[in-house]
A and B are shown apart, each in its own frame.
Chain A
Amino acid sequence: MVKLKKYNGFLKLFVIFLTLFSISSCGTKNYNLTKIEGKQLPVTEKASETPEIESFIKPYRDHINQDLDNVLAFCPETLDKSTGKWQTSIGSLLADVCLQRGNTVFKAREKKDIDLCLLNHGGIRAILPKGNVTTRTAFEIMPFENNLVVLALKGEQIKDIAAYIIKEKKPQPLSGMTFTITKQNTAKDIQIQGKPLDINKTYYVATNDYLANGGDSMNFFAKSTEKFDLNYKLRNVLIDYFKEVDTVLAPKNIRISEE
C-alpha cells in the first residue's frame, strides 16, 4: 500500500519533470541555421577507387564489352560527317539504310512505300572508322534512343525541306530526294525517287522522332497529315544493317548539287 503510494508520487513527479522538460525544450524548439558553406568537389583520378564497387561493376562491364566488341561487318574506309559540303558518305549511308530497312516495316504494316528519308547532320555522333565494325560503333554513332517514324507530307512541305537544307548550309543526311541549288540559293529540279516533285501528292518521309517533334527547327514536320511510329530504334536499324552485310559500302552519288 505504502509502496504503491510512493510509486504513485514518483509517477506524478515524473509527469511534472516531463512537463518541465517539454516546456524548456519548447522554448528553443527549432534549431537556428547559422552558417552555410557550399562547394563543388571534382571527381578525378586523384580520388581512390572503391574495390567493393569496382568488383561489383566488373561482370556487368565485361558482359557489355564482350557484346559491344562483337564484329558485325568490315568498313574499307573511314566515313566522317565532316567531309562534304551538301552530302557526306556517312550521312547518305544512314539515310539510305533507314529508308530501306524502314520500308520493310512500313510496307508490311501500312502497305505503302517510304519516298524519302531526312535525318539531321547533328544526330551523327561519331565517325565510322576503317576496319572492323562492331556493335559499339553503332552505339557511338547513334547513342540516342530515337525511333524511326514516317510522316505524310504534301509536296509543299517537300519544298520546305529543300529550303531548310539550303538555309542551314549543312550536309543533312538525305535519301530518295535530289535537287539543285541555284545561284539565288533556291532549290530547282526537286526529284523524289527519280520523278519530278508533284506539289499535290502526299509523300511518306522517314525521319527520327526527335525531328518529327520539332527538333532542330524542322517545322515542316509539324504540318504532316499522318504519323506512323515504326517502333524501330535508329541504332537498331544500323546494327541490323551491319549484321546483314559483310562490307559497308558508302554511297557516293550526289543528291544535292550546286548550279
Chain B
Amino acid sequence: MKRREFIEKTAASTVLLSLGLSLSSFETNDIKHLTILHTNDVHSHIDPFPADDPRNPNKGGVSRRAALIETIRKENPNLLLLDAGDIFQGTPYFNYYGGELEFKLMSMMKYDASTIGNHDFDNGLDGLYAQLPHASFDFINSNYDFKNTIMDGHVKPYKIFNKNGIKVGVFGVGIELAGLVDKKLYLETVYNDPVEVAQDMTKLLKHEQKCDLVVCLSHIGYNYKDDADKISDLKFAAQTQDIDLIIGGHTHTFLDKPTIVKNKAGKDVLVNQVGCYGINLGRIDFYFDKDKAHTNQSASIVV
C-alpha cells in the first residue's frame, strides 16, 4: 500500500512539475502592455474654448476628452487614468458649483486617482471635503499631513493598482502651501519635504511591495529657472530613485515631449506635464515581459 502511494505521488508530482515548468516558461514570453493617460491643471475647464478665443481656439472640452479616453480604453483596457491636481478654479462652473461637476465628470470618465493641487484648497478644506462624495476616484498625496484637519483619512499616501498582473504603485507630492495658499484655507495641513517622503514611498512601493512600476503624481511644478533652491519635478527626479514616471502639474508647462531625467541611481525617469485646461491628454505606454535576459536591462524610451 505504501509503495503504491509512493508511486502515485511521484507520478502525479512529475505531471504537476512539468505543468509548473510549462506554466513558468509560458510566462517568459508573456508581454504586458499598460497605458497611463494623464491630465493636470484642468482648472474647471469643462467646455471647450470658444472658436474666437485668442489663445486656445476650439481646444479642450471634457466631452471630447471623454471620447478620446474611451477610444484608447477600447484599444487597451489595461489603462490607468490619472490627474496631477488643480482640478478646481478657472471657470464659473467652479464658482457656482464648488467642484461638484468637475468631480462627477472625472468619475464618469473613470479616473483612477488624482493628487491635490494648491487651487484645490480654494474653497478651503471644508470646500474640498464637501465635494468628496462626488468623486469615485482616490486622492493620493504623501507629503501633506492632514491629521489635524477634516481631510484626515480621505487622502491616501499611496495606492497600488493591480492592472492585469502588473503592480503599479502610485504616490503623490504637493507644493509648499505657505505663501501660496491662504492659511485660513489649508489650516493645520502640514507640508513635508517631497524628497524625504519619496524615499519612504519608493522603499515601500518598489522594495517591500515589489511594484513593477512606480508613478509619482506631482503638483510641485516642472522647473523654476529663477529660483534655484525651489524643488521642482526636474530636481525631484534627480534627487530620488526607483520612480519610473513623474506626472507633473502646477506650472502649466507645455512640453513637446516627456523629459528624460537621470535619477540619483543613474537610471532614467520620465517627467511629463501636458500644459493646462484639458487642452492635451498625456499618454505613456509601458511594455513588460518576464524574459530573464531583460531583468537587469533598462527600458528603451521612445518619446
Write the residues of chain A forming the contact surface with B, with a CB cutoff of 8 angstroms. Answer: 9, 12-13, 16-17, 20-21, 23-25, 27-45, 47-50, 52-54, 56-57, 60-61, 63-64, 67-68, 136, 139, 143, 145, 209, 213-214
Name the A residues within 8 Å of B93 (CB-CB).
Answer: 60, 64
CA distance A72 to B236 in the complex (A): 50
Task: Determine if B166 and A47 form an interchain contact, defined as CB atoms under 8 angstroms apart.
Answer: no
Known A-B contacts A39-B303, A44-B58; the reply to A61 vs B5 at CB < 8 A is no
Q: Which of B64, B255, B299 contacts A45 (CB 8 A)?
A: B64
Task: Determine if A28 and B283 form an interchain contact, defined as CB atoms under 8 angstroms apart.
Answer: no
Q: Across the interface, name the chain B residue whose C-beta is closest to A136.
A: B92
Q: Does B65 make an interface contact (CB < 8 A)? A: yes
Name the B residues within 8 Å of A17 (CB-CB).
Answer: 13, 16, 19-20
Task: Determine if B105 and A57 form an interchain contact, defined as CB atoms under 8 angstroms apart.
Answer: yes
Task: Determine if A31 and B212 form an interchain contact, defined as CB atoms under 8 angstroms apart.
Answer: yes
CA distance A143 to B67 in the complex (A): 29
Task: Determine if A36 and B300 form an interchain contact, defined as CB atoms under 8 angstroms apart.
Answer: yes
Task: Determine if A52 and B108 form an interchain contact, defined as CB atoms under 8 angstroms apart.
Answer: yes
Which residues of chain B (287-303) have a CB below 8 Å from chain A?
287-292, 294-295, 297, 299-303
A-contact 0/1 string along B86-107, CB 8 Å cutoff: 0001101101110001001100
Q: Does B281 make an interface contact (CB < 8 A)? A: yes
Name the B residues within 8 Å of A143 (CB-CB).
Answer: 90
Distance from B1 Cβ to chain A, minimum over Cβ atoms (Å): 9
Q: Which of A36, A47, A56 contacts B284 (CB 8 A)?
A: A36
A-contact 0/1 string along B131-158, CB 8 Å cutoff: 0000000000000000000000000000
Name the A residues within 8 Å of B166 (CB-CB).
Answer: 31
Task: Determine if B66 and A53 form an interchain contact, defined as CB atoms under 8 angstroms apart.
Answer: yes
CA distance A209 to B92 in the complex (A): 20
CA distance A125 to B274 in the complex (A): 24
Task: Determine if A36 and B108 form an interchain contact, defined as CB atoms under 8 angstroms apart.
Answer: no
Which residues of chain B (6-39) have a CB below 8 Å from chain A?
8-9, 12-13, 16-17, 19-21, 23-24, 27-28, 32
Name the B residues within 8 Å of A136 (CB-CB).
Answer: 92
Distance from A5 Cβ to chain B, minimum over Cβ atoms (Å): 8
CA distance A213 to B178 in the complex (A): 11
Q: Across the interface, name the chain B residue whose C-beta is closest to A135.
A: B92
Candidate in A36, A45, A145 with the most chain B CB atoms within 10 angstroms: A36
Distance from B192 Cβ to chain A, minimum over Cβ atoms (Å): 23
Task: Determine if A42 and B59 form an interchain contact, defined as CB atoms under 8 angstroms apart.
Answer: yes
Task: Determine if B68 and A43 form an interchain contact, defined as CB atoms under 8 angstroms apart.
Answer: yes
Name the A residues within 8 Å of B286 (CB-CB).
Answer: 33, 35-36
Task: Determine if B24 and A24 form an interchain contact, defined as CB atoms under 8 angstroms apart.
Answer: yes
Write the residues of chain B forming the contact surface with A, with a CB cutoff of 8 angstroms. Answer: 5, 8-9, 12-13, 16-17, 19-21, 23-24, 27-28, 32, 46-48, 58-68, 70, 89-90, 92-93, 95-97, 101, 104-105, 108-109, 122, 165-166, 179, 182, 210, 212-213, 244-245, 255, 257-258, 270, 272, 274, 278-292, 294-295, 297, 299-303
Task: Determine if B104 and A43 form an interchain contact, defined as CB atoms under 8 angstroms apart.
Answer: no
CA distance A17 to B21 in the complex (A): 11
CA distance A214 to B8 in the complex (A): 83
Task: Determine if A57 and B288 form an interchain contact, defined as CB atoms under 8 angstroms apart.
Answer: no
Q: Across the interface, name the chain B residue whose C-beta is closest to A143.
A: B90
A-B contact pairs, 24 of them (CB 8 A): A20-B16, A20-B17, A20-B20, A21-B20, A21-B23, A32-B299, A33-B212, A33-B213, A36-B284, A36-B299, A37-B285, A38-B283, A41-B280, A43-B281, A50-B63, A50-B70, A53-B63, A53-B108, A53-B109, A57-B63, A60-B46, A60-B101, A61-B46, A64-B93
CA distance A34 to B270 in the complex (A): 14
Q: Across the interface, name the chain B residue whose C-beta is closest to A5.
A: B5
Distance from B291 Cβ to chain A, minimum over Cβ atoms (Å): 7
Name the B residues within 8 Å of A16 (CB-CB).
Answer: 9, 13, 16
CA distance A25 to B22 in the complex (A): 11
Q: Across the interface, name the chain A residue whose C-beta is closest to B48.
A: A45
CA distance A63 to B213 in the complex (A): 44
Task: Determine if B65 and A57 form an interchain contact, defined as CB atoms under 8 angstroms apart.
Answer: no
The 6 closest A-B CB pairs, nearest first, are A31-B288, A24-B24, A47-B64, A38-B258, A32-B294, A50-B66
